Chains A and B, each alone.
Chain A
Amino acid sequence: MTEAAQVPTEAAGADLLLRAHDLKRYFDVSPPFLNRVIERLPRAIVKAVDGVSFDIGRGETFSLVGESGCGKSTVARLVVGLYQPTAGGITFDGIDVAGQTAAEARQNVQSRMQMIFQDPYASLNPRWRVANIVAEPIRARGLLPSNREVKARVGELLTQVGLSPADSEKYPHEFSGGQRQRISIARALAGSPDFLVCDEPTSALDVSVQAQILNLMKELQRQYHLTYLFISHDLAVVYHVSTTVGVMYLGRLVEWAPTQTLFNQPRHPYTRMLLDAIPDLEMTGRQRIPVAGEVPSPINPPSGCPFHPRCPHADDRCRAEMPTAHATGDSHVACHAVDDGRLS
C-alpha cells in the first residue's frame, strides 16, 4: 500500500511522459531581518507544495484543481522550471530535470515544454509585435535559419490558432482577450513542444470565448499528440478537458483519479464538498447547505489532515495524523475516514 502512494497512477510504464515525485516547494515569507530581531518575530515558511506525486502519461490531460492558495500554480511553475523544488524530483521522458545537477538536462528538454498563462493581458509583451512574440521560441533556439522562414512559420501558426497571418504586424493591445490567448497558444506551439502546462488558460475569459479556446486546445492536442498539465479552479472546465484529475488542498494532493471516476464517485470529503459547491445550471432554485469554513492559512496549517477543521467526518486520528494516499479502485485518496471505512 505504501508503494501505491509512491507511484500514483498505473499510467506508468512505456507511456509515461512526466513524473513528479514527492515534490516540495517552500517559500520563505519571514518578515525582514531587522523586524525579526527587534520584534522577535519567528521565521515564517509557507509550504506551498508539500509532497505532491503524480504521473502524466503521453497524450493525457492531467488536471489539478483546488481553491486559491492550494499550490496548484506552484506545481505548474515547478514543472516548467520557473521554480526550483525544495525537495523531490521531476523526470521528463525519463530524464531527471529537477535535481541540483540537472541544469543541463533541463536545458535539453526545456524546448519540449511550453506554458500558457492565465492573464492574456500580462502574458504578451505590450511593446512587441505579434510576429516577434510568436517567433520568440523559434529565434531563441535558432530553429529556422532565415527570417523568411520564420515569417512563414509564424503565419502558419497564427492561421492554426484561428488568426490571420496579417495579424502578425499588430501589437497585443489591438486584440481582445480571447485573441490574445490564441496568440499565447501560437507562441507555445512555435517551438513544437510535446508537453504544455496550462495555468488557468481560460479563467480570465468570457464563457463564449472560453468555449472557443477549450475547443482549440482539444483540437491541437489531437492534431499534435500533445500532453497537457491543466491547472484550473473550475471543475466543469476540468471535467470537460481532462483524462485524469488531481484535487489539491493546502499544498497536497488529496485525491486523484480518472475523470469519470472522480466526478461520479468522489471519495475525499473535500472533493465532495467542491463538487457540491459549484453552482449548476440544471439546479436552478435548489436549496442546499454549503460547507462552512474557509481554507486555513498555509503559514500555519492545521495539525494532522489539513482538511480536518472543515471536514464533517473528522475524528481524533484526523486531527493528529497526516493521512497518506492509498489506492481504492481507480482512485487514490489521502483520507483516514476512507481508509477506516467510515466513509465509502
Chain B
Amino acid sequence: MTTAPANQPLLEIRNLRIEFPTRRGILVAVDDISLHIDPGEILGVVGESGAGKSLTGAAVIGLLEPPGRIADGQIILEGGRIDNLPYEEMRKIRGRRIGAIFQDPLTSLNPLYSVSRQLVETIQTHLPLSERQARARALELLQEVGIPGAEERIDHYPHQFSGGMRQRVVIALALCAEPRLIIADEPTTALDVSIQAQIISLLKRLCKDHQTAVMLVTHDMGVIAEAADRVAVMYSGRIAEVGPVQDVVRRAKHPYTHGLMGSIPHIGHAVAKLTQIEGSMPRLQEIPPGCPFNPRCPEADGRCRAERPELQWIENTEVACHRFDAPEARSQAGD
C-alpha cells in the first residue's frame, strides 16, 4: 500500500454520473458531482431521500445495484482509479482499504455465523494472520468498539445482540483490516437517540485514533453537525453546497440549505411556524432544467430556470447557486 503524499486527498470523486436505464428512458440519479476526502477527515453527505447520497456511497465501494451504473467520471482512491476495476479486484479493496457500515446492522451480518467467525474470516481474508492471532484481534476490536463482556459475547450470534450492540459489531467488522476510508450509510438512523449518541461518539473516537477517513451519508443534519468536519449538501443528484460544517450549518448560503436549516425544529427556540420549503424534491424523471431547486426557490429568476449553476467559492464554502454570480453575468442573463 502506498501512502498518499500529504497534499493528495485520500479519495477523490471526479464528475461522477450515475444512471438508471429504465424502459421509459435513462434516469440520472447522480449528475456530475465532484468531492474529495482528506485522510482522517469525516465528510458528511446530507440530503433528502432520493438526493443520490447513498448511491454516491455505493458507487465508491463498488456496490451499485444494477441496473444502476457509473456512466461517467472517476473515483480515485489514494491516487489510483477504482471505479473501473474488475469485480475481484474491487472485492479485495472492499474491507481492506474501504470499510462499510450500513443502516440496518442485520443486513451486514450473517445471521447464521457467530460474530467471532465473521470477524476472524474477514480479518484472515485481508491480513496474513493465524486463526489464533485473528481471534485475538477480533476480541481487541470488540473491546475497542465498546462491547461489554467481549470475551464472552464474541461467540454469540448477531440476533443475540441489541440494535446498538449490533451496530458496534458492524463497526468492528468494518475496522478489521484498518481501512483508510469507511463509508457509513445512515449508520444511526435505525437507532434510538441515546444509542445514536453513543455510536456517533464511537465513530469520532475511532477515526481520530486510527486516522480513518469517513464518508458519513445521512439525512440527519443533527448527526452531521455533531460528527462531520466538512459537509456536502446534495439535492436532486447534485451538490448544492459543500464546506466546513460550521459554515454550512450556521451560515448556509444556498437557499436550499438555508431553508433546510430553518425547517428543523430547535429545542430552546420556540417559534410559531417553522420555515418551510414549499413542494418536495422532484422525482428523477421530473428534474427541471437549470438549477434543480428553482421551482421551490424563493429567489429563482430566468437564469436559474435555464442554466445549471456550477460550484463556486464563496468565503469558506463552495455553493452552486446563481445568486452568487458576478453582477455582469447576471445582467447578461437578464438580456
Contact = CB atoms under 8 A, between A and B. Distances in A.
Given A178-B280, A215-B273, A284 B225 contact: yes
Interface in B272-310: 272-278, 280-281, 283
A236 B267 contact: yes
Contact of A290 (B198, B222, B264, B278): B198
12 contacts: A68-B192, A176-B280, A206-B219, A212-B278, A277-B193, A278-B197, A279-B222, A280-B267, A284-B249, A284-B250, A290-B201, A291-B194
Contact of B197 (A208, A236, A279): A279
Given A176-B283, A277-B194, 12 more contacts: A68-B192, A207-B260, A208-B48, A211-B277, A275-B267, A279-B220, A280-B222, A281-B261, A283-B225, A283-B226, A286-B226, A288-B197
B316 interface: no
Contacts of A36: none
A214 interface: yes
A209 B225 contact: no
A263 B266 CA distance: 11
B264 A279 contact: no
Contacts of B125: none
B17 to A, nearest CB: 24
A274 B263 CA distance: 22
Interface string A269-309: 00001111111111111101111101100000000000000
A263 B280 contact: no
B219 A207 contact: yes
A96 interface: no
Interface string B245-278: 1100110000000011111111110111111111
B274 A215 contact: yes
B274 A211 contact: yes
Nearest to B280: A176
A240 interface: yes
Among A208, A237, A263, find the residue whose CB has the most chain B CB atoms closer than 10 A. Answer: A208
Given A279-B226, A281-B222, A284-B225, A208 B196 contact: no
Contacts of A208: 48, 259-260, 263, 276-277, 280
Contacts of A26: none
Interface in A227-258: 233, 235-237, 239-240
Contacts of A215: 273-274, 276
A263 B270 CA distance: 11
A211 B268 CA distance: 17
A111 interface: no
A284 B194 contact: no
Nearest to A288: B201
A214 B267 CA distance: 15
A239 B196 contact: no
B107 interface: no
Interface of A: 67-68, 176-179, 206-212, 214-215, 218, 233, 235-237, 239-240, 260, 263, 273-286, 288-292, 294-295
Interface residues of B, number: 48
Contact of B194 (A212, A218, A274): A274
B193 A274 contact: yes
Contacts of A273: 194
B240 to A, nearest CB: 12
B267 A292 contact: no
Among A211, A215, A274, A295, find the residue whose CB has the most chain B CB atoms closer than 10 A. Answer: A211
Contacts of A294: 162, 164-165, 194-195
Interface of B: 48-49, 162, 164-165, 192-198, 200-201, 219-223, 225-227, 245-246, 249-250, 259-268, 270-278, 280-281, 283
A281 B266 contact: yes
Contacts of A235: 193, 267
B297 to A, nearest CB: 12
B263 A211 contact: yes
Among A233, A273, A282, A283, find the residue whose CB has the most chain B CB atoms closer than 10 A. Answer: A282
Contact of B196 (A207, A275, A279, A280): A279
Contacts of A218: 272-273
Nearest to B281: A206
A295 B220 CA distance: 22
Contact of B266 (A177, A236, A284, A288): A236
Contact of B222 (A177, A214, A278, A285): A278
A279 B245 CA distance: 14
Contacts of A292: 198
Nearest to A216: B276
Nearest to A259: B270
A278 B264 CA distance: 13
A31 B48 CA distance: 41
A176 B296 CA distance: 15
B106 to A, nearest CB: 15
Given A212-B276, A279-B200, A280-B222, A236 B265 contact: yes
A284 B261 CA distance: 13
B221 A281 contact: yes
Nearest to A310: B194
